[in-house]
Structure 1
Amino acid sequence: MNREAFLAQLSSAGYDEIVTATRDPDGVMDLHAHPFEARALILSGELTIRIGDDAHTYRTGDIFHLAPNTEHSETYGPDGVSYLVGRR
């Protein structure tokens, strides 16, 4: 999915806060949760999200969704990651 189509999708779904996040290569964010729902499009790089025993890797063009208060950890690929995220 391209950036413009994703932004239109976020808008129609009521995501009112949209930001671009960039994370450093080979970084890790330990277990945490957000009080908001997040839907994101990977713009470049790679991100692995672990929820419990399940891990999924997202790459350029992939979309991920996290429900509010979902405990998860994040690992960033060798080139880091940049993603466009909508929050509500």
Structure 2
Amino acid sequence: MNTETFEAFQTRWLAQGFEEVLVRDWAPDTVLETHSHPFAARAVVTQGEMWLTVAGQTRHLRPGDTFALERDEPHAERYGPQGASYWVARRG
């Protein structure tokens, strides 16, 4: 379980050169087919559950679990029946 506050998470990643830190909330049962982003991301799940598929490997993520994506890394996302929230730091 994540015991860090959002403010501490934000401070840590901004100090490491990430440009923005935000909260992402996802509706129940949302599915995002394979796509990529023009930024690197470091995140921690804070509520709900999600499945993240990268390079053919799927991880089931719950509160406290972390994930990292590099810039332009193809991935797919699927969110659980209660949706999900995570904190994410982004660096372009």
CA RMSD of aligned residues (A): 1.2
Residue 40 of structure 1, CA deviation: 0.8
Of 11, 15, 20 in structure 2, the residue corresponding to residue 12 of structure 1 is 15
CA distance in 2, matches of 1:11, 1:54: 29
For 1:61, give the aligned amino acid.
G
Aligned length: 88
Number of the residue aligned with 1:75? 78
AA at the equivalent of 2:12: Q
Within 5 Å, give how 1:27-42 maps onto structure 2: 27-42=30-45
For normalisation by structure 2, the TM-score amounts to 0.87
SS in 2 for 1:7: helix
Shift of the alpha carbon at 1:56?
0.6
Q: Which stretch shifts more, 50-59 or 66-75?
A: 50-59
TM-score (norm 1): 0.90
Partner residue, 1:52:
55
Give the conservation status (yes or no) of the 8 Å contact 2:14–2:21.
no
Over residues 10-60 of structure 1, what are the superposed CA-to-partner deviations in whole Å (9 max), with x where a residue is unaligned? 122111111111111111001100010001111101111111320011111
Report the CA distance between 1:68 and its aligned residue. 0.5
- Spell out structure 1 runs of 4+ moving beyond 4 A: none
Are the equivalent residues in 2 in contact too, given 1:6–1:41 (CA < 8 A)? no
Gaps of 5+ in 1: none
